[in-house]
Amino acid sequence: MVFGKLTNALRKGLKKTKEKVLGGLKAVLPFGRDLDDDLIEEMEEYLYTADIGPITVGKVMDAVRTAYKAKDIKTTDDCYVFLKKYLKDLLDDESAGMQRAASGPTVILVAGVNGSGKTTSIAKLAHRLTRDGSKVLLAAADTFRAAAVEQLVTWSERIGCQIVRQATGSDPAAVAYDAADAAIARNVDYLVVDTAGRLHTQKNLMQELDKIKRVITKKIPDAPHETILVLDANTGQNAINQALEFGKVLEITGLFLTKLDGTAKGGAIIGIRDQVRVPIRYIGVGETPQDIEDFDADAFVEGLFELEDATAP
């Protein structure tokens, strides 16, 4: 059964996470039983192992116990229905999606630690925008890591978009400035700026990101229009900490969660959304440029709880 916008790609990407979250829940919270305190206790103990994060699990279980005491939920089937609605409400975001520039190029600044899948995520986003008919320019401003520049150049050739680059070790802010200049001159629709994922210290990294932001704003006054933080879904609590750190110097407007297809830790998305309170824009469900999905809370939760048979509550 397909619910909402649940696609085959998302279903496949959620397979390992669903096996962990739903598979474990079915063992401690079997369908067709009256709910009681012992079952709720077992449910809580299991959720602490499901990578959702202790703070978020605490909130979920407070809500479950309140509903149980109020007799709003009486059976395990009721509990699944309640849990799905609660998670959809927690994950949902009513923001109007990616922001666009009123005129001129829309600037998307992309941040994230090395190893998070940042460069590949930029390629996926650029491919999506190009496929939809937009003219895209990439800025290779992660100049401290030669592999990052070369990888982005390779992706730009594959997906057919332009790129501004300089030699390894160049000033990232200078690359960003030149790219903003080129974006205006070439009349592109989108400028997507890759940024450093690591410098000698966290302080240096944050200072560099702030500098990149400032030089872009000099050329395009209302930029960046979007600041996307790329997080690896495998890293759980570390992803939350990264978001909080980057948020100290950048106004993060959206998250891109990667590597969902290769992990059983996709439940971390719930904790990330709960604690960071930034909209999840995209999720990565594979390695090709096409493996990008718009995040949809209903589809994600339905995919997480989708059953293979007709026993669904």
**pLDDT tens digits, residue range 238-279?**
888 888 888 887 889 999 999 887 777 788 889 888 988 889
**pLDDT given at position 308:** 56
| Angle ∠(122,264,21) on CA atoms, nearest 5 | 125
Do 212 and 195 contact (CB within 8 A), yes or no? yes
| Separation CA 65–CA 69 (nearest Å) | 6
| Separation CA 132–CA 290 (nearest Å) | 12
Q: Name which of 189, 208, 204 is nearest 142 in CA terms.
A: 208
pTM: 0.88
| pLDDT tier, 1 (very low <50, low <70, confident <90, very high otherwise) | very low
Do 109 and 227 contact (CB within 8 A), yes or no? yes
| Separation CA 217–CA 180 (nearest Å) | 9
| pLDDT tier, 237 (very low <50, low <70, confident <90, very high otherwise) | confident
**pLDDT tens digits, residue range 197-230?**
775 567 788 888 889 999 999 999 999 999 999 9
DSSP string of 159-173, one letter each residue: HT-EEE---TT--HH
